[in-house]
């Protein structure tokens, strides 16, 4: 893959927009598309070309990067792009699609003769905006050198897991199971403190500097206490990912009670009106709908 790489980014939500912006800053030729065009238009100020359709976005591109909500949205979008695709194009599939969702996407790549790279990312809004994501990748080793300028623009590090598509997705599900578990742990501890009339700061002070302390807890605790739940990773997306984790465990004969309960917490929080807030809003699932906003923090 030569200099002057052209990348089509399909999906410019929280993560996709940040990734596209960093690709522009790295000097790559970037074109973007999003179902809601208004979410893509600000990227024109960064140098991206805003396309009217997936087809227009991918025409002439070297790399297609998908960062959409789920496997179904990704499949629909790539099929819409099909007239602009050409054999040999590289498809960086960054959406968390789950195991059952990934195989139809890999089949779609075979149908259109695309080089498929299973490449989910670890990180939320802040690392995405800073170009500090961790990219988990599996796909042909022959593509690694050529893709380096793209992957280096969006991530601090790329871990090539295997040449087999699916290996990166499996690792992503394991990592996400831990992230979501810690999120719920922080949310429930804060909720219990409020319910018992304990000052949450006393809880944070009690564990400070010990093995149970962590920066992530403090970030989520502050989001809950301040009620600044600007999403770095939304409840609706977390609910979707939790379902994929439970589904993957079931397929492997592994019972994931905590993940299943966590998916239900996200569902309740979304039902209470917190779907597009940060996943720390799992906190509200600990209270009846009319009481969650009244909890002290």
Residue pLDDT, tens place only, 197-254: 999 999 999 999 999 999 999 999 999 999 999 999 999 999 999 999 999 999 999 9
Question: Dihedral of CA 30/77/263/194: which sign?
Answer: positive
Given a cut of 80, whether residue 83 has pLDDT beyond it is yes
Report, as an integer, the average pLDDT of 268-280.
98
Q: Of 36, 21, 31, 20, which Cα lies nearest the Cα of 55?
A: 31
pLDDT score at 289 = 84
Residue pLDDT, tens place only, 135-172: 999 999 999 999 999 999 999 999 999 999 999 999 99
| DSSP-assigned beta bridge partners for residue 10 | 33, 66
pLDDT band at 31 (very low <50, low <70, confident <90, very high): very high
Q: What is the mean pLDDT of the chain?
A: 96
pLDDT score at 2 = 43
SS3 string of 65-104? EECCCCHHHHHHHHHHHHHHCCCCCEEEECCCCHHHHHHH
Percent of the chain at pLDDT exceeding 70: 96
End-to-end CA gap in the chain: 53
Q: Tell me how far apart the alpha carbons of residues 5 and 2 are, in angstroms, rounded to a whole number.
A: 6
H-run or E-run covering 22: helix 14-25
pLDDT score at 4 = 83
Given a cut of 70, whether residue 292 has pLDDT beyond it is no
Q: Are strands 121-122 and 133-138 parallel, antiparallel or unpaired?
A: antiparallel
Given a cut of 70, whether residue 297 has pLDDT beyond it is no
pLDDT score at 69 = 95
**Number of Cβ atoms within 10 Å of the Cβ of 29:** 17
Report, as an integer, the average pLDDT of 13-25.
97
pLDDT score at 290 = 64
Q: Tell me how far apart the alpha carbons of residues 139 and 288 are, in angstroms, rounded to a whole number.
A: 46
Q: Tell me how far apart the alpha carbons of residues 239 and 174 are, in angstroms, rounded to a whole number.
A: 15
Given a cut of 80, whether residue 52 has pLDDT beyond it is yes
Q: Tell me how far apart the alpha carbons of residues 144 and 225 are, in angstroms, rounded to a whole number.
A: 43
- Residue listed under structure tokens 């790489």: 5
pLDDT score at 293 = 54
Q: Of 153, 129, 124, 179, which Cα lies nearest the Cα of 63?
A: 153
Given a cut of 80, whether residue 97 has pLDDT beyond it is yes
Q: What dihedral angle (degrees, nearest 10) is formed by the CA atoms of 103, 122, 12, 83?
A: -30
DSSP 247: H
| DSSP-assigned beta bridge partners for residue 8 | 31, 64
pLDDT band at 291 (very low <50, low <70, confident <90, very high): low
Question: Greater confidence, 291 or 279?
Answer: 279
Report, as an integer, the average pLDDT of 56-82.
98
> Rounded to 5, what percent of the chain is helix, strand, coil?
55, 15, 30
């Amino acid at each position: 893959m030569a200099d002057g790489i052209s990348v089509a980014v399909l999906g410019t939500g929280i993560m996709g927009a940040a990734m596209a912006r960093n690709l522009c800053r790295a000097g790559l030729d970037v074109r973007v598309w999003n179902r809601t065009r208004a979410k893509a238009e600000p990227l024109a100020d960064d140098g991206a070309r805003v396309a009217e359709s997936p087809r227009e976005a991918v025409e002439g591109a070297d790399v297609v990067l998908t960062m959409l909500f789920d496997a179904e949205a990704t499949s629909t979008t790539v099929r819409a792009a099909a007239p602009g695709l050409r054999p040999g194009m590289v498809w960086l599939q960054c959406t968390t699609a789950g195991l059952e969702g990934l195989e139809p996407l890999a089949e779609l790549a075979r149908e259109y003769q695309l080089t498929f790279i299973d490449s989910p990312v670890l990180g939320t809004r802040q690392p995405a905006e800073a170009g500090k994501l961790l990219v988990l990748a599996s796909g042909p080793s022959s593509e690694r050198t050529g893709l380096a300028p793209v992957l280096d623009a969006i991530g601090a590090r790329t871990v090539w897991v295997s040449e087999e598509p699916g290996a990166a997705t499996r690792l992503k599900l394991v990592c996400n199971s831990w992230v979501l578990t810690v999120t719920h742990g922080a949310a429930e501890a804060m909720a219990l403190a409020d319910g018992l009339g304990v000052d949450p700061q006393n809880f944070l002070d009690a564990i400070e500097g010990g093995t149970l302390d962590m920066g992530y807890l403090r970030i989520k605790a502050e989001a809950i206490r301040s009620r600044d739940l600007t999403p770095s990773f939304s409840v609706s997306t977390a609910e979707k990912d939790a379902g994929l984790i439970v589904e993957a465990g079931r397929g492997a004969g592994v019972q994931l009670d905590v993940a299943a309960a966590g998916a239900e917490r996200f569902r309740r929080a979304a039902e209470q009106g917190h779907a597009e807030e940060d996943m720390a809003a799992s906190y509200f699932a600990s209270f009846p709908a009319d009481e969650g906003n009244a909890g002290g923090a």
